[in-house]
Chains A and B, each alone.
Chain A
Amino acid sequence: MRALLIARKTIWEAWREPQLLGVFLVFPALMIAIYYAAFGQPAQSMARYLNILIWDQDGGAQAQEFVGAIRDMQFEGSPVFGVEMVSAQAEAETSLAEHQAALLLVIPDGFSRSLQSESARPAAVRLVGDPLSDNYAFARSFLSQVVEEFTRGKTGWTDPEPVRYEFVTGTGTLSDFQFGVPGVMVFGILFGVVASALVLVREFVNGTLRRMRLARVRSLDLVLGIVLAMAGLSLVQLPLAFGVALLFGFQSPGSLLLAIGIGLMLSITATGFGMLAAAFARSDGDATNLSTLLMLPLVFLSGAIFPMPPAQIATLGGRTISLYDLMPSTHAAEAMRRVLVYGDGPSEIAYSLAGLTLLSLLSLAVGVWLYQRLRIRSNS
């Protein structure tokens, strides 16, 4: 009951602080609009170096020339692709599943012959990958252009694009906008780190925390109150961002309710990290700086905005555990993307949900422990 009252009070206060509320609620919607402007058109790549696998079934001169062209591709003076040749699709699938390679390019038997014959349609190359991988989306964007240019240069063939896309799992084709929206939503929720740090540091600095302690408000009530308030604000923020995304043509086959559930769980992470910042901050400025310092790696190392290079640390039950998997936001970004972009349900994202839940609760526990130790107890 007290927790609900604290949550209501916190929401009232936030509602009356337009700057903070604006940043928290409107940021993801605004970011989606910017994202659309930047990436809403046919896909472009931000990647500088992507590992790809090539299975050359053809072995002819044209195929080798094509592989050479791919190796020679440069972006700002650096090669775009790291190329590894394989001799069977099975050999590639493990690397693809573990996201060690962005995709497998299969040059079919007869590729060279088809390019030498002016009348024949060029044999279509196959791009095989896991559409859940960010790197796949970037590599595919680059390679489809390379294939088109190479075949057009050899044969003059323009239509249709001599590429077949095959997915390890998933559906359809993705634009970067489509791919990026869930990450932006994750970014928006993680702004809760700053918002909750500010709320908590003000309770301490203004002495209102002490006032509540005088009324024998338990730490649990306070923590639950802040968690509920942040979750409540996320409940406004997420549909708003989703609505803006839909306006710009975002198509989601997934469940918005499930995405909101993921967002709410991530808001617990945000509150936990906010408490951690508030435990060490002594002013609004401190709280903003510290919480931003905590928020940025959570956002940018999670793959929410752009893909991260592989950083495998272990394998568990056939699944690669990456260094980034230690962050709840990585699981949230993955789960949000799978739900909103690929329409996955709870069973398909069970691993991410479990990771997100576990790490969110752990973040909250650490934040509560520190805030209680350094602020609540020191205040009584």
Chain B
Amino acid sequence: MSAIVLQTQHLTKRYGKLTAVKDLTLEIYEGEVFGFLGPNGAGKTTSINLMCGLLEPDSGQVLVRGKPIHNGDAENRSRVGVCPQNIVLWERLTCFEQLQFMGQMYGLSARQAGQNSRRLLEELDLVEKSGQLARTLSGGMQRRLNVAMALVHDPEIVVLDEPEAGLDPQSRVKVREYIQSLARRKTVILTTHNMDEAERVADRIAIIDHGELLVLDTPECLKRRLGEGDVVEIRLLNGHADPAGVKEAACRALSAISQDVQYDPAGGLLRVRALNAVGRLSGLVESLAEAGLQPGEVQVRANTLEDVFIQLTGRRLRE
């Protein structure tokens, strides 16, 4: 088991009547990529801001290497590097100038800051743009530079808040590869509402909604919590008439195949979880037809984090 680098203990933050983060307790281990998953407004960014010491909690505390980040020493707080969700750059400084400036703000010598800046520019494919003003870079390049700014002082923990937001496919791949390359070298805390992004890069995922931690586990374990098997999605052509009756008929018809049948009347979508779903597909469709339901489009897929999220919150991530 790796050492704990960051802990939150009963962290709570309120804005008036709204509780943005509620009693958040978790531990993040050295060298892992930790994903914070949740819809917009779930409290991800507030949690992140609390973790890096930008916000003061109303109660609870954040410990970095066992020492409190709030009111702690500056060196301890410098262990965390933050890449904010928005692009935060000085428009009229060159890529190199702003990296070196930030490095020096973190207390590095000009030489060390310069060396780190050059290395990051190279790693993020920006070396040719080194002398170019930030305002003249493309959006993707600006976002990569934004990531570099969080790393210039060589922090132990890197917090990336929605690093892929607004990226073109090429830059998205570049940033994702870079995050993966950081794994084990650094502890990465990643917030996202992109399931794919989280599933591909995170070692463990915390799902947060309405400021509360719902679950925390590896992506595989989270998906396993839903049960074994695959998901079959069947769009019913006559599913709109009597939703309650449709669900009851479907459950009765499929009782021999699966006990986990859900029905979304809005889309007329029947979701059935079953072991060996592909082999039992024809029997499943026939059973429904015999029950008077008319199956239309059919899809079989593996469990996803989206399913986990839907089961936990009763809604889709982007709703």
- List chain A positions with a Cβ less than 8 A from chain B: 2, 5, 9, 12-13, 16-17, 206-208, 210-217, 380
What's the minimum C-beta distance from A284 to chain B, rounded to whole angstroms? 12
Residues of A within 8 A of B90 (CB): 9, 13, 206, 208
Q: Are B88 and A210 in contact (CB-based, < 8 A)?
A: yes
Contact of B54 (CB < 8 Å), options: A13, A17, A213: A213
Q: Is the CB of A207 within 8 A of B105?
A: no
How many whole Å from B72's CB to the nearest CB in chain A? 11
A16/B133 in contact, CB under 8 A = yes
User: Looking at the complex, which one of A9, A16, A210 makes contact with B101 (CB distance below 8 Å)?
Assistant: A9
The docked-state distance in angstroms from the alpha carbon of A276 to that of B104 is 28
Say yes or no: B106 contacts A9, CB within 8 Å: no
In the docked arrangement, what's the CA distance between A321 and B11, Å?
57
Q: Which residue of B lies closest to A17 (CB)?
A: B92
B88 engages A216 (CB within 8 Å): no
Question: B74: CB under 8 A from chain A?
Answer: yes
B208 in the interface (beta carbon within 8 A)? no
Query: With a CB–CB cut-off of 8 A, which chain B residues contact A210?
Result: 54, 84, 88
With both chains docked as a complex, state the minimum distance between the C-beta of B81 and any C-beta of chain A, in angstroms.
8
A207 touches B78 (CB 8 A): no
Main secondary structure of the interface of B (DSSP, over half): loop
A201 to chain B, nearest CB (A): 14
Residue of A nearest to B74 (CB): A216
Pick the most buried of B93, B133, B153: most chain A CB atoms within 10 A of its CB.
Answer: B93
B183 within 8 A of A: no
Kindly list chain B residues whose C-beta atoms are within 8 Å of the C-beta of A207.
84, 86, 88
Residues on A with beta carbons closer than 8 Å to the beta carbon of B55: 380
Query: Cβ of A13 and Cβ of B88 under 8 Å apart?
Result: no
Contact of B104 among A5, A12, A208 (CB under 8 A): A5
**Chain A residues whose CB sits within 8 angstroms of the CB of B77 once the complex forms:** 216
Say yes or no: is B52 at the interface (Cβ < 8 Å to chain A). Answer: yes
- Expressed in whole angstroms, the Cα–Cα distance for A9 and B78 within the complex equals 21
| B101 adjacent to A5 (CB under 8 Å) | yes
A2→B102 CA distance, assembly (Å): 10
CA separation between A9 and B74, bound complex, in Å? Answer: 23
Residues of A contacting B84 with CB < 8 Å? 207, 210-211
**B82 interfacial by beta-carbon distance below 8 Å:** yes
B30 contacts chain A at the CB level, 8 A cutoff = no
8 A-B pairs whose Cβ atoms sit less than 8 Å apart in the complex: A5-B105, A211-B88, A212-B105, A216-B78, A217-B105, A380-B54, A380-B55, A380-B56
State which residues 26-62 of B face A: CB under 8 Å. 52-56
- Tell whether, in the assembled complex, residue A211 and residue B102 are in contact, meaning their CB atoms are under 8 Å apart: yes
Cross-chain contact of B93 among A2, A12, A215, A380 (Cβ < 8 A): A12
Could you tell me if A206 and B88 are in contact, using CB atoms closer than 8 angstroms?
yes
A2-B104, A9-B90, A12-B92 known; 6 other A-B pairs, CB under 8 Å?
A: A5-B105, A12-B93, A16-B133, A211-B149, A214-B54, A216-B106
Looking at chain A's contact residues, the main secondary structure is: helix
C-alpha gap A2/B149 in the complex (Å): 17
Chain B residues near A380 (CB, 8 Å)? 54-56
CA distance A207 to B91 in the complex (A): 12
CA A166 to CA B221, docked complex, whole Å: 98
Q: How long is the Cα–Cα vector from A211 to B103 in the complex, in angstroms?
A: 11
Minimum CB–CB distance from A185 to chain B (whole Å) comes to: 27
CA distance A213 to B102 in the complex (A): 11
Residue numbers in B under 8 Å from A208 (CB-CB): 88-90
Nearest B residue to A209 via CB reads B88
Q: Is B209 in contact with chain A by the CB < 8 A criterion?
A: no
**What residues of B have a CB within 8 angstroms of the CB of A5 in the complex?**
101, 104-105
A2 to B106, CA, bound (A): 9
Q: Are B91 and A206 in contact (CB under 8 A)?
A: yes
Does A16 contact B105, Cβ atoms closer than 8 Å?
A: no
Which A residues are in CB contact (< 8 Å) with B104?
2, 5
Which A residue sits closest to B87, measured CB to CB? Answer: A207
- Report chain B residues within 8 Å CB of A2: 104-105
Residue pair B86, A215 in contact (C-beta under 8 Å): no
CB-defined contacts of B92 to chain A, threshold 8 Å: 12-13, 16-17
Q: Is A214's CB under 8 angstroms from B82's CB?
A: yes
* Chain A residue at minimal CB-CB distance from B54: A380
> Which of A207, A211, A212, A214 has the most C-beta atoms of chain B within 10 angstroms of its own C-beta?
A214
- B162 on the interface (CB 8 Å rule)? no
In the complex, what distance in Å separates the CA atom of A13 from the CA atom of B53? 28
> In the complex, A113 Cα to B194 Cα: how many Å?
103
Closest CB in chain B relative to A2 CB, distance in Å? 6
How many Å from the CB of B99 to the closest CB on chain A?
12
A217 CB to closest chain B CB (Å) equals: 6
Contacts of B88 in A (CB 8 A): 206-208, 210-211
| Separation of A13 and B92 alpha carbons in the complex (Å) | 5
> In the bound complex, what is the Cα–Cα distance between A66 and B39 (angstroms)?
89
Scan residues 134-179 of chain B and give those whose CB is less than 8 A from a CB of chain A.
149, 153
* In the bound complex, CA of A355 to CA of B89 (Å): 40
CB B136 to nearest CB in A, in angstroms, measures 11
* Chain B neighbourhood of A13, CB < 8 A: 90-93
| Least Cβ–Cβ distance between A35 and chain B, in angstroms | 32
- Cross-chain contact A215 with B91 (CB below 8 angstroms): no
How far is B94's CA from A16's CA once the two chains are assembled, in angstroms? 11
Alpha-carbon separation in the docked complex, A362 to B82 (Å): 36
> Nearest Cβ in chain B — how far from A285, in angstroms?
17
Closest 3 CB pairs of A and B: A207-B88, A215-B105, A16-B92
